[in-house]
């Protein structure tokens, strides 16, 4: 911009944020309607000066700030947050009380993965590709639905017909709902948290999918898997989306995805049927898949970035692989 005196002035970053938010909202709201989504990402740290993620969940907004060190040191975070809140309410036409703000700061490894932030228990239903899910935007840093796995969930639904399905580190069971809706003959959902297993059960009921063939198991995944190697049942379709790091009084030790993924994949391979498919994902972006961890699979295909939906524009939210077991047991 040039003043009448010919001097250049820097662009107004608040105006830049407002313009980008308005443009994104116009595009992604239309995009989401065409795909049967009432929850999706509108803004993803597009402008470096405004490090926020803006997600729409029905008539609510989930706003996560990723404050920069400089802003924390200068004490400008709160002022910018107020600007962003006012802009989001105005541009997206949402009531201020329906904007749920959280701050994402790097946590030391070992912090409880989905630590509870509040006790409001205010939940509501969102829709995704013909299915419904309970979400909670207040009580946890995460909402109950990892939207970045939307495309992989659709793959699971397409492949589930007549198969035995296993969901490991299942969280609130969204993959299980997709597998059940795709006609899975049986599903097994494993997580260490009773809270999330109850949530998974409620998600199944919400979609009219409650049935005895859908089993929910509270267990530490890795020891449970290794115990299952002696059982005759095998699974034709498995999803495993482990935390980067996890520790709990209910666990035997800790879990580190980089350190433990070879052992984890070996245990999964032992319960995977001949020709069975594993979808393995991690949000640890520094993850390196060891060749020795996948040598017993016939085919390994990395789906990243094709597994990341269009509304997650940053393209760095997870990594995902599709692994296939040999169709015949090797001699």
Angle made by CA atoms 289, 293, 294, in degrees to the nearest 5: 90
Query: Per residue of the chain (331 residues), what is the pLDDT tens digit?
Result: 444 554 554 456 679 999 999 999 999 999 999 999 999 999 999 998 999 999 999 999 999 999 876 655 556 778 889 999 999 999 999 999 999 999 987 654 444 444 555 555 689 999 999 999 999 999 888 999 999 999 999 999 999 999 999 999 999 999 999 999 999 999 999 999 999 999 999 999 999 999 999 999 999 999 999 999 888 889 999 999 999 988 776 666 789 999 999 999 999 999 999 999 999 999 998 999 999 999 999 999 999 999 999 999 776 799 999 999 999 755 4
The confidence score (pLDDT) of residue 141 equals 83
What's residue 232's pLDDT? 86
Contacts of 175 (CB under 8 A, 6+ apart): 149, 152, 153, 156, 167, 239, 241
In degrees rounded to 5, what are phi and psi of residue 289?
-80, 120
Is residue 321 within a helix (H) or strand (E), and if so which, with residue range? strand 319-324
Residue 38: predicted pLDDT? 98
Peptide bond into 305 cis (omega under 30): yes
List the Cα angle 282/161/206 in 5-degree steps.
75
pLDDT of residue 110: 43
- pLDDT attached to residue 284: 92
Cα-Cα-Cα-Cα dihedral sign, residues 68, 74, 77, 80: negative
């Amino acid at each position: 911009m040039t003043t009448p005196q010919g001097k250049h002035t820097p662009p107004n970053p608040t105006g830049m944020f407002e313009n980008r938010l308005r443009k994104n909202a116009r595009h992604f709201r239309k995009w989401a309607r065409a795909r049967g989504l009432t929850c999706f990402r509108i803004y993803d740290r597009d402008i470096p000066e405004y490090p926020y993620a803006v997600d729409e969940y029905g008539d609510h907004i989930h706003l996560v700030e990723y404050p920069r060190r400089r802003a924390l040191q200068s004490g400008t975070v709160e002022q910018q947050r107020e600007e962003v809140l006012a802009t989001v309410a105005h541009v997206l036409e949402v009531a201020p009380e329906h904007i749920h703000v959280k701050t994402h700061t790097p946590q030391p490894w070992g912090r409880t993965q989905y630590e509870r932030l509040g006790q409001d228990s205010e939940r509501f239903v969102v829709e995704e590709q013909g299915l419904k899910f309970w979400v909670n935007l207040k009580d946890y840093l995460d909402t109950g639905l990892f939207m970045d796995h939307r495309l992989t969930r659709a793959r699971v639904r397409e492949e589930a017909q007549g198969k035995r399905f296993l969901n490991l580190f299942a969280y609130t069971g969204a993959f299980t709902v997709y597998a059940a809706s795709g006609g899975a003959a049986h599903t097994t959902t494993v997580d260490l948290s009773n809270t999330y297993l109850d949530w998974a059960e409620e998600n199944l009921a919400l979609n009219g999918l409650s049935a005895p063939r859908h089993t929910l198991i509270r267990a530490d995944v890795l020891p449970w898997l290794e115990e299952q190697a002696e059982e005759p049942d095998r699974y034709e379709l498995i999803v495993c989306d482990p935390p980067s790091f996890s520790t709990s009084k209910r666990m035997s030790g800790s879990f580190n995805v980089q350190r433990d993924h070879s052992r984890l994949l070996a245990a999964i391979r032992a319960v995977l049927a001949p020709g069975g498919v594993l979808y393995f994902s991690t949000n640890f972006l520094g993850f390196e898949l060891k060749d020795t961890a996948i040598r017993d699979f016939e085919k390994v295909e990395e789906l990243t970035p094709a597994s990341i939906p269009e509304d997650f524009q940053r393209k760095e939210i997870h990594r995902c692989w599709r692994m296939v077991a040999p169709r015949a047991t090797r001699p």
